[in-house]
Amino acid sequence: MRGEFIDVGGVRLYYYAAGTRGGGDPIVLLHGFGTSSVLWRGLIPLLPPGRRIVAADLLGWGRSDRPYNSALTVGAHADRLRGLLAELRIDRACFIGHDLGAAVAHRFSRTWPALVSRLCMLDPPVGRHWASSASVSPGAAAMFGGPLSAFARGRIRARMISGYVNREAGARSCARYLKPFADGPGGVVLARHARALRIDDFLEGGAADSAAAKSDAIPTSIICGSLDTLSPPRFARRFARSQWGVTFEEIDGIGHFSPEEAPTQLSEVLRPLLAR
């Protein structure tokens, strides 16, 4: 894989590129809250050969710019993703999003359906995001633009670790993912991410959304880990049933971070969708 920065709408986004062109629609990978494109490093070598692969760091995460005054809502992330693909001259792709990235991919597919050949949502937030719950509330300081307290950062880290089956390995991963937010400026950025989750809308389902999915006819799959406590699979299953043409699959014995903990199993489940 090779990593590059690219300017999109006045901010720098970082992305990893892998694979080759010409073997089918490119695959775009979108990480979730608290992580980065590093989440996909175990899965990328297992994806179908001959495909161009782009794994992007959303603004404020990984090596992309800190957001400063830029919006961090799902819609804003989707808009920047559109700009990134335009810069990379990708006019149609298969999108695989995890957690918050699943919501971004879903919003992208509803806004620009002609640009999406297939959509896969891994452990998506349905109704609300796990990090917006009262147990990890950013608190009064964050509501007024201040940094998250050490206590609040610790609660987010603990919640993330609880999503791993292997808690020891999860603790190491989370320490790496959250290291950029340990100082004062980083705490402000993490507070902004948390605040954006509290005001955002996530997957709700319903007749109107199902009608849109039917008219767009995008092959869509939702995949969840059976042991996911952050985005319980029962909510995603209910959402899938409310949509036209959306398949649902559960991976036994896997938690919230399947791209990192079970890339081989995930690649096998993804294979039918990527072949459709």
Please, are residues 110 and 243 in contact by the beta-carbon 8 Å criterion? no
Domain that holds residue 118: 2-129+202-275
Convert the pLDDT of each residue in 36-71 to its tens digit. Answer: 999 999 999 999 888 899 999 999 999 999 998 899
Q: Does a structural domain hold residue 54?
A: yes
Q: Does a structural domain hold residue 52?
A: yes
Q: Does a structural domain hold residue 53?
A: yes
Q: In the structure encoding, which two tokens stand for residue 145, read together? A: 């633009």
Q: H helices within 12-166, ranges in order? A: 74-87, 100-111, 139-143, 150-162
Q: Which residues contact 263 (CB under 8 A, 6 or more apart)?
A: 42, 43, 46
State how many domains the chain has.
1
Residue 244: pLDDT over 70: yes
Residue 142: pLDDT over 70: no
Q: Does a structural domain hold residue 63?
A: yes
The pTM of this model reads 0.92
Q: Does a structural domain hold residue 172?
A: no
Instruction: Please list the residues that pair with 55 across neighbouring strands.
Output: 16, 29
- Per-residue pLDDT band for 133 (boundaries 50, 70, 90) equals low
Please, are residues 122 and 224 in contact by the beta-carbon 8 Å criterion? yes
Instruction: Using the CB atoms, write b or e for 6-37: b if 16+ within 10 Å.
Output: eebeebebbbbebbeeeebbbbbbbbbbbbbb
Please, are residues 30 and 97 in contact by the beta-carbon 8 Å criterion? yes
Q: What is the pLDDT of residue 227?
A: 97
The percentage of the chain sitting over the pLDDT mark of 70, rounded to a whole number, equals: 88
CA angle 139, 140, 144 (to 5 degrees): 120
Q: Does a structural domain hold residue 9?
A: yes
- Return the CATH number at 102: 3.40.50.1820
Q: Does a structural domain hold residue 151?
A: no
Question: From CA 61, how far away is CA 189, in angstroms rounded?
Answer: 9
Q: Does a structural domain hold residue 12?
A: yes
